[in-house]
């Protein structure tokens, strides 16, 4: 990793930009649901606020993917950072001045942030592949995931601590993180990046978005992988919100500790990416992830019966360990088996389908929390996860590394 950072200045700048952005996002990751829970004093209301982020991804994600494939990805990244900087600055100001944010305003800000986050994510994958040489790609992704989860492990605890000091402080730091990210991306030298194939300039953005959706839905590999990822998104968002709702009434640091535990699981998983991918390859990782989750949630339900919310630390640690490997398998396939002019839309469609299911997750978690049915909720989510793994077993198990061969492309150094 040190070699990549030393040799490739563009990778170093993008690495640091993502480091800043992720740090800020993880700080507010805990602040948004906890602030909503305390401000509105209703788990269901807070769940709708948390879910509003998925509405924007659902409605605008396909357009973000089309924009990514048609326009300059570096410019997309800069615009996304600039808009999110303004949004969180406004949110911090509202909290600081009134100590209360109307539900509608809070939802609109979160939705707008998610819409431009979709643009950033859709542009990041092809841009990342354009600044890293093909022989360095897997190592760069693996080590970048270690960075991401390391920050994610610290961010929620810091966010909870800052939230305890002042409600607006986490959002100020998030706005600052987007400013730093934007400045670093502006410094990237586009002359030293590989040219990415663009979508045709003729036709509307909506038509491009429809083409992208049709491509994914009819693809023999992408369609079951995206469907399974969507189910997993529902389970993850429901579990996280359920446990946060149970912990929100106690020590203010406990919600941050819960989210940090999921980041620790992701960190462990990211350290194992290359080894697991080398042994299993392809989408076996995505299938096995379901069975790890199911067993963890079922055992976690038993532990919660005896130990309460502390059992959530175990649940969030172990359900997150397989996540980086499965994401790596999907990202590897998209970047090296999907043509460049379709990568942004493929990423966006995956996010949209996942958002359809993730939208319901916090609401389910909130309803379970309001009814105090925490153990039953984990049992039910574990059963759904197990069923998803069984249904998709034959469709994805035979797809191996031969389906993700890296094309012979050159990258300017």
The tens digit of pLDDT for each residue in 271-296 reads 777 676 666 666 677 777 778 888 88
pLDDT at 252 (0 to 100): 53
pLDDT at residue 181 above 70?
A: yes
How far apart CA 377 and CA 247 sit, in angstroms, is 15
Quick one: pLDDT band at residue 412, thresholds 50, 70, 90? very low
Quick one: pLDDT band at residue 408, thresholds 50, 70, 90? very low
How far apart CA 319 and CA 127 sit, in angstroms, is 29
- The per-residue b/e assignment along 192-229, b for 16 or more CB within 10 angstroms, e otherwise, is ebbebebbeeeeebeebbebbbebbeebebbbbbbbbb
Over the stretch 217-266, which tens digit does the pLDDT of each residue have?
888 778 888 888 888 788 888 887 777 777 765 555 666 677 677 778 87
pLDDT at residue 398 above 70?
A: no
Q: Work out the end-to-end distance of the chain between its first and last CA atoms, rounded to an integer number of angstroms.
A: 16
List the one residue out of 221, 238, 236 whose CA is nearest residue 266.
236
pTM: 0.70
- Residue 373: partners with Cβ closer than 8 Å, 6 or more residues away: none
Q: pLDDT averaged over the chain?
A: 78
Cβ distance 172 to 286 under 8 Å? no
Secondary structure (H, E, C), the chain: CHHHHHHCHHHHHHHHHHHHHHHHHHHHHHHHHHHHHHHHCCHHHHHHHHHHHHHHHHHHHHHHHHHHHHCCHHHHHHHHHHHHHHHHHHHHHHHHHHCCCCHHHHHHHHHHHHHHHHHHHHHHHHHHHHHCCHHHHHHHHHHHHHHHHHHHHHHHHHHHHHHHHCCCHHHHHHHHHHHHHHHHHHCCCHHHCCCCCCCCCCCCHHHHHHHHHHHHHHCCCHHHHHHHHHHHHHHHHHHHHHHHHHHCCCCCHHHHHHHHHHHHHHHHHHHCHHHHHHHCCCCHHHHHHHHHHHHHHHHHHHHHHHHHHHHHHHHHHHHHCCHHHHHHHHHHHHHHHCCHHHHHHHHHHHHHHHHHHHCHHHHHHHHHHHCCCHHHHHHHHHHHHHHHHHHCHHHHCCCCHHHHCCCCCCCCC
How far apart CA 347 and CA 369 sit, in angstroms, is 32
Task: Kindly report the backbone phi and psi dihedral angles of residue 174, in degrees, each rounded to the nearest multiple of 5, phi listed first.
Answer: -65, -45
Quick one: pLDDT band at residue 138, thresholds 50, 70, 90? low
Cβ distance 111 to 229 under 8 Å? no
pLDDT at 371 (0 to 100): 66
Residue the block writes with tokens 């326009």: 71
Mean pLDDT of 62-73: 82
Residue the block writes with tokens 């800043």: 20
Over the stretch 336-353, which tens digit does the pLDDT of each residue have?
777 777 878 887 888 778
pLDDT at residue 64 above 50?
A: yes
């Amino acid at each position: 990793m040190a070699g990549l950072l030393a040799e490739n200045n563009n990778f170093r700048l993008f690495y640091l930009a993502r480091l800043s952005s992720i740090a800020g996002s993880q700080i507010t990751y805990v602040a948004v649901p906890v602030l909503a829970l305390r401000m509105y004093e209703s788990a269901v209301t807070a769940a709708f606020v948390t879910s509003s982020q998925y509405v924007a991804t659902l409605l605008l994600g396909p357009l973000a993917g089309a924009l990514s494939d048609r326009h300059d990805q570096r410019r997309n990244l800069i615009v996304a950072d600039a808009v999110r900087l303004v949004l969180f600055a406004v949110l911090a100001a509202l909290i600081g001045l009134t100590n209360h944010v109307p539900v509608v305003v809070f939802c609109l800000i979160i939705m707008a942030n998610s819409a431009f986050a979709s643009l950033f994510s859709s542009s990041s994958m092809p841009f990342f592949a354009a600044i890293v040489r093909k022989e360095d790609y897997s190592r760069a992704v693996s080590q970048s995931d270690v960075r991401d989860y390391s920050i994610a492990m610290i961010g929620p605890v810091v966010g909870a601590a800052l939230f305890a000091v002042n409600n607006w402080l986490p959002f100020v730091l998030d706005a600052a993180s987007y400013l730093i990210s934007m400045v670093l991306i502006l410094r990237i030298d586009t002359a030293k990046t590989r040219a990415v194939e663009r979508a045709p300039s003729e036709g509307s953005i909506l038509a491009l978005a429809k083409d992208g959706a049709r491509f994914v839905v009819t693809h023999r590999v992408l369609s079951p992988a995206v469907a399974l990822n969507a189910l997993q998104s529902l389970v993850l968002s429901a579990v996280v919100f359920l446990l946060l709702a149970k912990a929100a009434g106690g020590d203010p640091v406990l919600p941050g500790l819960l989210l940090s535990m999921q980041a620790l699981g992701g960190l462990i998983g990211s350290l194992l990416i290359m080894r697991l991918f080398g042994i299993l390859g392809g989408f076996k990782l995505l299938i096995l992830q379901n069975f790890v989750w199911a067993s963890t949630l079922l055992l976690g339900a038993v532990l919660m019966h005896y130990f309460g919310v502390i059992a959530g630390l175990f649940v969030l640690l172990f359900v997150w360990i397989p996540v980086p490997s499965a994401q790596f398998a999907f990202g590897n396939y998209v970047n090296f088996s999907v043509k460049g002019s379709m990568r942004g839309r493929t990423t966006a469609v995956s996010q949209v389908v996942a958002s359809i299911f993730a939208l319901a997750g916090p609401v389910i978690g909130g309803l379970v929390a309001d009814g105090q049915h925490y153990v039953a909720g984990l049992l039910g989510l574990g059963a759904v996860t197990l069923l998803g793994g069984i249904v998709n077993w034959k469709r994805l198990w035979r797809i191996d590394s031969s389906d993700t061969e890296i094309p012979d492309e050159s990258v300017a150094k």
